[in-house]
Structure 1
Amino acid sequence: MRPAPEQASDVPLLQWLEVLRDLRRIPDARPDEVLARVQRFVKGLSPDQRRRLVELALRQAPPRARAVLGAVLEQQADKKGAARLRATLNPLTTYRLGLSAAALPNCAAWNIQ
Structure 2
Amino acid sequence: MTRVSDKVSQQVKELPEDTSFGYGQLAIPKQEYLTAAKALERLQKKGVIKKLAKGIFYKPKKTVFGEKKPDEQQLLKPYLYQNGKRTAYITGDYLYNQLGLTTQVPAVMQIASRNRRIFVNNGAVKATPVKSYVDVTDANYQMLGFLDAIKDLKQIPDVDIENALAIFKSRLSVLTPAQRQMVIDYALAYPPRVRALLGAILMDLNVKKGIDKLSSSLNPLTTFELGINDSLLPTASDWHIR
TM-score relative to the length of structure 1: 0.92
Structure 1: distance between partners of 2:162 and 2:229: 7
Query: How much does 1:80 deviate?
Result: 2.2
**Pair 1:9 & 2:156 matched:** no
- Which amino acid is 1:12 matched to? Q
- Which amino acid is 1:55 matched to? D
How do residues 55-74 of structure 1 correspond to structure 2 at under 5 angstroms? 55-58=185-188, 60-74=189-203
Number of matched pairs = 111
**Pair 1:25 & 2:155 matched:** yes
> Match for 2:179 among 36, 49, 56?
49
Structure 2: distance between partners of 1:8 and 1:70: 25
Partner in structure 2 of residue 94 of structure 1: 223
Q: Deviation above 4 Å: which 4+ runs of structure 1? A: none
Higher RCO (CA < 8 A, seq sep 6+): 1
Query: Retained in 2: the 8 A contact 1:32–1:100?
Result: no
Larger strand fraction of residues: 2
**Pair 1:82 & 2:82 matched:** no
Partner in structure 1 of residue 168 of structure 2: 38
Q: Flag the structure with larger Rg.
A: 2
For structure 1, list consecutive stretches of 5 or more residues without a partner in the other structure.
none
The root-mean-square deviation of aligned C-alpha atoms, in Å, is 1.1
For structure 2, list consecutive stretches of 5 or more residues without a partner in the other structure.
1-130
Structure 1: distance between partners of 2:162 and 2:228: 6
Query: Retained in 1: the 8 A contact 2:229–2:237?
Result: no
Structure 1: distance between partners of 2:165 and 2:211: 16
Structure 1: distance between partners of 2:232 and 2:154: 14
